[in-house]
């Protein structure tokens, strides 16, 4: 199926909208999604092609609360999902819709945050019942899933490490759309901590790095991430 990559046993990457990926973890106790894309039909139609109905999604883990990651929660729930939703502790208030994101450091980011955004990009994402993910937490999913705080793109951005599957899910810490590079400055809250987060992902030593935007990295993940840090 186009837009589908099986990264490891039970770990699937689905491209649900143009250059927007969602990770699907299938386990005995249900389906976990890491990020959900925009509130657009691609999410539910792509899941259906894997044979997954929204009601089978039992858990959603968000790397952060941007509309192209958290927007699909609303779509899932409209289609019958009662999934629990969790987000990094330092993004929780923004994710719940009770706080505004702090002002980004980059001028382009400040301008972008004031401009009206089109369609599903412009809708504020709020998941009032979201719960917090703490750095280092280990969840009993896919043989053990570890929460890795990776601040910078947002204050409370988190990545997810699946040691038993040799996979790390990096969210927006790095993009691999045209080439592998740290999250662009105008999309970041702060670039310096994001670069530290690139180093943190490198140190995990996983064989596969999946990202929200662009192709997964399967060759020399640690070396290529470390190179991004040295290049800055
Ligand atoms: Zn983002």
Each residue of 85-112: pLDDT tens digit? Answer: 999 999 999 999 999 888 888 877 777 7
Each residue of 6-61: pLDDT tens digit? Answer: 999 999 999 999 999 999 999 888 999 999 999 999 999 999 999 999 999 999 99
Q: How far is the CA of 28 from the centre of ligand 1 (A)?
A: 30
CATH architecture of residue range(s) 4-231: 4-Layer Sandwich (3.60)
**Mean of the per-residue pLDDT values of the chain:** 94
Q: How far is the CA of 50 from the centre of ligand 1 (A)?
A: 25
Sorted by where each begins, the domain ranges of the chain are 4-231
Q: How far is the CA of 96 from the centre of ligand 1 (A)?
A: 16
Angstrom distance (rounded) from CA 230 to CA 69 = 29
| Structure tokens, 33 | 């999604």
Instruction: Name the pTM for this structure.
Output: 0.95
């Amino acid at each position: 199926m186009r837009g589908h990559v099986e990264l490891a046993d039970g770990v699937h990457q689905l491209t649900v909208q143009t250059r927007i990926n969602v990770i699907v973890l299938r386990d005995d106790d249900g389906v976990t999604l890491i990020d959900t894309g925009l509130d657009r039909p691609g999410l539910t139609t792509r899941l259906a092609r894997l044979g997954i109905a929204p009601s089978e999604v039992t858990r959603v883990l968000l790397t952060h609360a941007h509309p192209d990651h958290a927007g699909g929660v609303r779509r899932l729930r409209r289609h019958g999902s009662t999934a629990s939703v969790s987000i990094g502790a330092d993004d929780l208030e923004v994710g719940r819709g009770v706080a505004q994101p702090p002002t980004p450091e980059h001028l382009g980011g400040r301008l972008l945050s004031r401009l009206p955004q089109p369609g599903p990009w412009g809708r504020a994402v709020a998941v009032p019942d979201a719960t917090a993910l703490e750095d280092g937490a280990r969840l009993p999913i896919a043989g053990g899933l570890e929460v890795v705080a990776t601040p910078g793109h947002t204050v409370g951005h988190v990545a997810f490490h699946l040691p038993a599957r040799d996979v790390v899910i990096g969210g927006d810490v790095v993009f691999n759309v045209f080439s592998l590079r740290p999250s662009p400055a105008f999309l970041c809250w702060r670039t310096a901590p994001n670069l530290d987060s690139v180093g943190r992902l490198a140190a995990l030593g996983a064989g596969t790095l999946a990202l929200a935007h662009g192709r997964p990295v399967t060759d020399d993940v640690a070396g290529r991430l470390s190179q991004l840090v040295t290049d800055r």
